[in-house]
Amino acid sequence: MNLSKSKYCMAVQCLKMLWLNENKPEVKKEIDNESVLDNGIEVGIKARELLGEHVNISFNKDLQVMIKETKEYLKKDNIVITEASFGDNNNFCSVDILRKKGDKLEIYEVKSATEINDIYYDDLAYQVMVVSSLGYNVSKALLVYINSKYERKKELELDKLFKVEDVTKKINEKLDEVKNNLEEIKESMKRKNEPSQKIGMHCFTPYECPFFDYCTKSLPENNVFKIRRMPVKKKLELYNKGAISYDELLKEDIDTKFRQQIDFELKALRPDIKRKEIKKFLKQLSYPLYFLDFETFQQAIPKYEGVRPYMQIPFQYSLHYILQEKGEVEHKEFLAEADIDPRRSLAEKLVEDIPLNVTTLAYNMSFEKTVIKNLANLYPDLKEHLMNIHDNIKDLMIPFKERYYYTKDMHGSFSIKYVLPALFPNEESLNYQNLELIHKGGEAMSAYANLGKLRKEEQKKVREALLKYCELDTYAMVKIYQKLKEEVMEVNS
C-alpha cells in the first residue's frame, strides 16, 4: 500500500479506520462534507499565489511521473513548486507549497480552517519525514491557514487573508513519533483480520469516523450514542461504565431531559401534546402570516467586498404566506443569479415581498434574524424595513423545543428534519428524499457556489432543484403550523 499524508492522518486518528478504508470500503458511510471539500480545493489553489511566481506539478495517476517532474525542477537553486511530489519506501506525499532556497527546502502545508488543529502537525511531520528521508535538507515547516477576521476590500490581499505560522521546532520534535507510527501502520496493514479498537473520542475527533456505524453494529438499537444533544464526552463516560442500552441508562444519574426522552421512547407512549401551551404560542401570531426560510453559502476566499471568510451569504429564500384566517396558502421565492454578490438583490426583493408590521415565522429564528440584521447593517436605505421584519419574527420551533408537542419518533430532537417526518410519517410530498438533485442544506450550499461553472442547461436544472428544495422548507413550516392549529381546535371542540 502506498501511504499518503491523508492516509497517515487517518491512521493517527485510528489504525482500524485505515484498515477498514483499505479492506472494507463498502461499509464506509458517506459523510456530508461536499462544501468543505469545495472550500479546501479553492483555498489550496489560491494559496499557490502566496509566494509569488511558481510552477505546479499536475496530478498524474502514475505517481512516478509527478516525482520525476519534481526532481527536475529541484535542480534549480531557487524555485517555488506547488504540489511537489516525493516518494520513498511506499510513503508518498505531495507538498502544497515547496520553496527551495539554495540547498534548503521550506514546506508549507495549506489548510482551509481558521485555526490550527493538532492533526495538522501530524500531517506536516509526515511530509517532512518523507522528504528528509530522500536526502533533502528541510529547513522550515510552516502551516498556512485562514484569517477569519480578514474583511475583503476591493482587491483581495493574500498576505492578510492567510496566516503563516512557522512550526519547525514542533515538527522536528514529532519526527521520532512519525517513525514509530509508520512501523505500527506497516504491521497493522499486514493483518488479514481487522484490528480491534475500543470506541472512544477518536471516533469523533479530529474528524467524524465514516465507519462508526459499522464499529457499533453490535450495540442495541436504542443505545447511548442515539441520545441527541448529549455531549460526546458524557456518552463515552456512560458507555465505558457499561450503561449502553436505554434500560441501563435509566439507572444512571443523567439530565432530566435525556431521562424523559429515554423513558418516553421505551414505553412507546402516544404523542405528548400540551394543548394549552400550544394555544398560548399560537395566540402570539396574527394574520397576515409569512413563513420564511433562507439558504446561504460560505466563501473561504471572499469574492465580494465587505465579506469575511466563511461569512453566511444569503442567496435564496422561500416565502409562503396566508393573508387571512382560512385564506389560501400563497408562495413567493427568490434565487440569485450565479457568480454575483446576491445580497443587495435579495434584500430588495425581501422588503418588496414582506410588508411592514406583519408576523413572519421561521424555524429556529436566530438564523433568519442574523441574516436579516447583517443585510440591514449593509444597506442603510433598506435598514428600517429589514429591521421591522427582524423585530416581528416568531419561532415555529418553540413548541417542539419546549416539548409542547413531542413524539418518540422525534428521538429527542426539535430539528425540523426530525419533527416533520414524526408529524407526517406517510406524506410523500414532505419527504426530502423525493426531491431531485438537492435534498439537504449542504448540497444546496455547494450547488449554488458552483452554479456558474455549469452550462446553461445544467444551470437551469440545478436552479429548479434549489427552488424546489427551499420551497419545501417553508411548505413544511405551513404544514406544521396547520397541525398545531388542528390540535388547538380539538381542545376548543
Distance of CA 475 to the CA centre of its chain: 24
8 A C-beta contact, residue 475 and residue 460: no
SS3 track for 47-115 = HCCCCCCCEECCCCCCHHHHHHHHHHHCCCCEEEEEEEEEEECCEEEEEEEEEEECCEEEEEEECCCCC
CA pair distance 318, 329, nearest whole angstrom: 13
Share above pLDDT 90 across residues of the chain, in percent, rounded to a whole number: 85
Assign 102 a pLDDT band (cuts: 50, 70, 90).
Answer: very high
Question: Tens digits of per-residue pLDDT, 296-338?
Answer: 999 999 999 999 999 999 999 999 999 999 999 999 999 999 9
The reply to whether omega before 206 is within 30° of 0 (cis) is: yes
Q: Give me 132's grid cell.
A: 528528509
Q: pTM, whole model, 2 decimals?
A: 0.89
pLDDT at site 380: 97
CATH code, residues 5-188: 3.90.320
Q: Give me 329's grid cell.
A: 396558502
String of b and e for 296-322 (b: at least 16 CB within 10 Å)? Answer: bbbbbbbeeeebbbbbebbbbbbbbbb
Q: Which of 324, 400, 411 is nearest to 363 (CA)?
A: 400
Q: C-alpha angle with apex 233: 231 to 236, nearest 5 degrees?
A: 110
Assign 491 a pLDDT band (cuts: 50, 70, 90).
Answer: low
Q: Using CB atoms within 10 A of its CB, is residue 434 exposed (0-12), middle (13-18) or buried (19+)? A: exposed
CATH code, residues 276-492: 3.30.420.10
- Average the pLDDT over 464-479 and give the result: 97
Q: Which residues pair with 405 in a beta bridge?
A: 273
SS3 395: strand
CA pair distance 120, 11, nearest whole angstrom: 13
How many other C-beta atoms are found inside a 10 Å radius of the C-beta of residue 31?
12
Complete DSSP assignment for 251-318: TS---HHHHHHHHHHHHTPPPEE-HHHHHHHHHT--SSEEEEEEEEE--SS--STTPPTT--EEEEEE
Question: Tens digits of per-residue pLDDT, 364-398?
Answer: 999 999 999 999 999 999 999 999 999 999 999 99
Distance of CA 37 to the CA centre of its chain: 10
Q: Which residues pair with 142 in a beta bridge?
A: 108, 166
Q: What are the residue ranges spanned by the domains of the chain?
A: 5-188, 220-267, 276-492
Assign 145 a pLDDT band (cuts: 50, 70, 90).
Answer: very high
How many other C-beta atoms are found inside a 10 Å radius of the C-beta of residue 252?
14
**223 DSSP 8-state letter:** B
Higher pLDDT, 33 or 2: 2
Assign 493 a pLDDT band (cuts: 50, 70, 90).
Answer: very low
Q: Give me 392's grid cell.
A: 416581528
In sequence order, what are the residues at sequence separation of 6 or more whose Cβ sits closer than 8 angstroms to the Cβ of residue 444?
295, 316, 438, 466, 469, 470
**381 DSSP 8-state letter:** G
Question: Which amino acid appears at position 205 of this protein?
Answer: T
Q: Which whole-number Å values give the CA distances from 179 to 184, 185, 330, in the listed order?
A: 9, 10, 65
CA pair distance 318, 106, nearest whole angstrom: 50
- Examine the pLDDT at 139 and tell me if it is beyond 50: yes
In sequence order, what are the residues at sequence separation of 6 or more whose Cβ sits closer than 8 angstroms to the Cβ of residue 15?
184, 185, 188, 195, 197
Q: Give me 92's grid cell.
A: 508518498
Q: Give me 369's grid cell.
A: 434574524
Question: Tens digits of per-residue pLDDT, 57-71?
Answer: 999 999 999 999 999
- Average the pLDDT over 159-185 and give the result: 97
